[in-house]
Structure 1
Amino acid sequence: LPPAPTDLSQAAEDRTRTRLDRLIRERDAIGPVNLRAEIEAAAIAHSIEAIQRDRDELGTAIAKLRGSIGHLNREGRERLSAVFQQVDRQFQALFARMFGGGRAHLALVGSDDPLAAGLEIYAQPPGKKLSALSLLSGGEQALTALSLVFAVFRCNPAPVCVLDEVDAPLDDANVDRFCALLADMVNETGTRFLVVTHHQLTMARMDRLYGVTMQERGVSRLLSVDLGAAVAMVDAVAAE
């Protein structure tokens, strides 16, 4: 044991020095004192309050958006289902007309949600089995696709429709059916159809023809024939 101090004042001084040394070490460990700490702490607290308010507002906005999205999705499913059924009915009727019989229908596949489902076309031309569109011949695919396009136009007509050589894979009988249906669609919907074709039967059923010819190499010439006016002129001459 160390020798006892000679008096109480020496022991008190030693304790004081020991405490002083400890406090100095603790102060050095703390580092420099930031005299603006209180002000900065208040500013940080204010920022935290602002961020919390923004967070609460964003949470409210997100909840409203989710509710709106849910409402729009429900309305979208209802509208899509209604339009799908309407187009399917028109498609079935037009398919039977284009093929002179048979049956076909549309189906939503791949998901129970109409908004996420895909569309499959099932068709059964006269004398054949019901199959997907991809298993039909080229001509049958063309007639089926035309039936679907015209079904959509019957439900929601557009001012203009461009058909690019859709009659190329069709025989004469089917071209005649196509042209007859095209004339009915013009009368029913008021849509102007621009038909790109090389088929004589199709050209003969059009109101106006536009052709491009190249009599000289590198020089194209546009020709226009008003078949409606020509027919009217022939009828007028015949009436005389």
Structure 2
Amino acid sequence: SAKHSDLCERRNIYADEKSSLESELDKNLVQRKNELEMTLIDARIMESETLVENESFDLELIDKRIASFRQLLEEKDAKIDELVKQQTDQKELLDKLRAAEDKQMDIINVEAKTSRKIAIKLETIEKKHNECLRKLSKMGTIPSDCDNNYHNMSLKDEYLELQKCKHKLSKMPSVNQKALDQLTEGREKGRILQLEKREIKAGYESIQRLIETLEHQKYEKIQVTYKSVSKFFVEIFQRLVPEGKAFIDMVYKDSADSGSAGSQASGSHASQESQSSGGISGAGLTPTFAQIDNFIGVRIRVAFTGKTVVKEMNQLSGGQKSIVALAFIFAIQRCDPPPFYLFDEVDQALDPFYRKALADLIKEMSRSSQFISTTFRPELLGSAQKFFGVKFAKRVMILENICVKLISDCNMN
């Protein structure tokens, strides 16, 4: 049929292609295969030769390293042999040193025993020496020529001479055998006492000079303080009492014991002189150095008007005493100004005029110090910068800041 014939043709075509391919394989591909095999064999041969050369080079390097290691090993063996030899020599030397040490220890032990024997002998000799010294001390002072007279004598002759001396001493039982020693000891004690006496005298003179120096310093300090306080007291009192006068007198034991009658009699005359001398009273005289030792205090005398008699503190009223006390406190503090003042109702006993004068003085002094004051009066409030009110409510004290306007209203009222 057609399909069968078609398949036959196709089979023939494939058979022809097969034949042509086999022919080409036999002619070309097989030959090419043989060539490639030959080329591969040649390449393997060349690669083997290169590998052999490389291996040969590595083998030579390995042989050289083996040779260097063998040489190094031989050197190490030589050093080991040398160290072993040195160790053997050191061991032999150590054995010799140990043997020598044992010998030295034996010698030391022998010497230690000998030293102990010598120490025992020395202790015995020391005891005998001390006993001899004790006996010599009982014999009294030995003459200086004794050594020359008895140096060349034998022991037997010295003993005979000693017996003669004892026999002579036995005939004189009442003689003080230690008189010369006691005389020498007394002279030495006298010399030491003289030295101590001179030292004590020098110390006493030094203390006296120190006391005089301190007394002079005390005198100068009292004088400077007295003059400063007196000057400031007069100035401050005249600020508080413009028409008044004030004086400060130094009080001594003799003037205090003599009574107030004589001092009152001389006070009027002294007051006039103190007014011209800046308020330093006592007849305008500076107290002497001897009077400073009798100084016991100061006496203040004031006059609140130019016509009134000068009065002492016990003759003043309560308000006048407050003015004098404040002036005196300010005078003392002006010598060494404090950073702040704390006043508690100091204006209670003052009249309005003195309260105003005190407020002006505090305002002026507040430039260099701080003032904290409690008051029920309006005069001090007019010179203050801050105001605080204290009230008691429900058993608790409360501090409140008060404005300036309220204070001004209070002052106006």
Q: TM-score, normalised by structure 2?
A: 0.41
CA offset at residue 107 of structure 1? 0.7
- Provide the rounded CA distance (Å) in 2 between the counterparts of 1:101 and 1:158: 29
What is the aligned partner in structure 1 of residue 36 from structure 2? none
Is 1:130 paired with 2:303?
no
Match of 2:336 among 134, 156, 176: 156
- Provide the rounded CA distance (Å) in 1 between the counterparts of 2:190 and 2:342: 61
CA offset at residue 214 of structure 1? 2.2
CA offset at residue 171 of structure 1? 1.1
Is 1:200 paired with 2:383?
no
Structure 1 unmatched ranges of 5 or more: 1-19, 27-37, 235-240
Given that 2:340 and 2:369 are in contact with CA atoms closer than 8 Å, whether structure 1 keeps it comes out as: yes
- Provide the rounded CA distance (Å) in 1 between the counterparts of 2:374 and 2:318: 18
| Distance verdict in 2 for CA 1:114–1:199, change over 3 Å | farther
- Provide the rounded CA distance (Å) in 1 between the counterparts of 2:334 and 2:187: 65
CA offset at residue 196 of structure 1? 3.1
Is 1:175 paired with 2:358?
no
CA offset at residue 87 of structure 1? 2.1
| Distance verdict in 2 for CA 1:128–1:50, change over 3 Å | same
3-state SS, counterpart of residue 356 of structure 2 = helix
Given that 2:250 and 2:299 are in contact with CA atoms closer than 8 Å, whether structure 1 keeps it comes out as: yes
CA offset at residue 139 of structure 1? 0.8
CA offset at residue 226 of structure 1? 6.6
| Distance verdict in 2 for CA 1:48–1:167, change over 3 Å | farther
User: CA deviation digits over 1:146-203, x for unaligned, max 9?
Assistant: 112222233331222222322110011211110001111122xx12222233323323
Aligned-partner residue type, residue 93 of structure 1 = E
User: Identity of aligned pairs, percent?
Assistant: 22
Aligned-partner residue type, residue 174 of structure 1 = Y
3-state SS, counterpart of residue 202 of structure 2 = helix
What is the aligned partner in structure 1 of residue 252 from structure 2? 110
Match of 2:387 among 209, 212, 236: 209
What is the aligned partner in structure 1 of residue 397 from structure 2? 220
Given that 1:150 and 1:185 are in contact with CA atoms closer than 8 Å, whether structure 2 keeps it comes out as: no
3-state SS, counterpart of residue 75 of structure 1 = helix
What is the aligned partner in structure 1 of residue 299 from structure 2? 120
CA offset at residue 115 of structure 1? 5.3
- Provide the rounded CA distance (Å) in 1 between the counterparts of 2:342 and 2:187: 66
Match of 2:207 among 61, 65, 77: 65
- Provide the rounded CA distance (Å) in 2 between the counterparts of 1:207 and 1:141: 28
Root-mean-square deviation (CA, aligned residues, Å) is: 3.5
Match of 1:77 among 199, 219, 223: 219
- Provide the rounded CA distance (Å) in 2 between the counterparts of 1:194 and 1:55: 62
Structure 2 unmatched ranges of 5 or more: 1-169, 175-180, 254-286, 409-413
CA offset at residue 130 of structure 1? 0.4
User: CA deviation digits over 1:41-63, x for unaligned, max 9?
Assistant: 97x99899877766654443332
